[in-house]
Structure 1
């Protein structure tokens, strides 16, 4: 069942547009994990939680398109970071709410979007962000699409930090202390190897 806020559908966006510097320049989403590309595990987790799914990628576009979902590239050149992907997510989504997750967290919670949506509503917030005991996970978030003009202005001024943008908004943290391992990023070859072995 697709979660919604006041019966509003939600678009999910997988952020796979980075350079993969920690992975030696490899495209993280396309790295093999138990016989399948890592992004496929993320798709399988996120797709049942949302009404629509998009993939943000800046290379290997045909390979990402083969997963069967629309692929959107950053509007800012030279790998400007996750906020550039979130900007495109808010630009291309047709729903009032947009959930984003990274492509390298294959174990993300199966109730992530529902819990973020509930907190967004209860707190009358602009943005809901996942948090575990010790860390906030800023790209695991649910944003109102109406934030796009403000984000466009923030990026146009050369700003790139996700957490600094969040600080400008009415943001609520959503505790996932029962799911701390679900937010593990397999963003290095070593982390991926440990997960496989």
Structure 2
């Protein structure tokens, strides 16, 4: 009888120890997954992201205007791909970051938003429901080893509607036929000036000393 009681005692102690261990370790595991970015580092990545966007927009804008004047809308559509710009590759190498545009209505299917990007786009769209809403860039941790920078992309001027407006009015049927030859699954039409086209999505690997 004493032997049975002794076995039962050790069994209870063992179960209690395991339970206590699980409870004490769970909060630690959750905490380890949350990486906070210091405000100074956040501002640093914000500045880098803005600079990359600014340089990229100026370069693509210049190429786009030139292509539009030379051969019209269909030719200009070819210059909307970020991969076509050697400058973008240079920027990615300098900043050790990846840069892309993401949208819910892509022309090039490679620009279709991921789940995280879709969340950011929807948040911006919700903000735009308020009058005079100011859409600001977002800097946040993505996992434990990547800082992500997001910034809105709007249809800035009426000229953009020649490629992204309503087919048959802003976008001529002939031009759109040529666009579809380049991008058979195109969905990037039907926009109005000032509407949200998508976002810039830039991702920086986090330096170990910043973690």
Tell me the TM-score normalized by structure 2.
Answer: 0.23
Which structure features the higher share of helix residues? 2
**Which has more radius of gyration?**
2
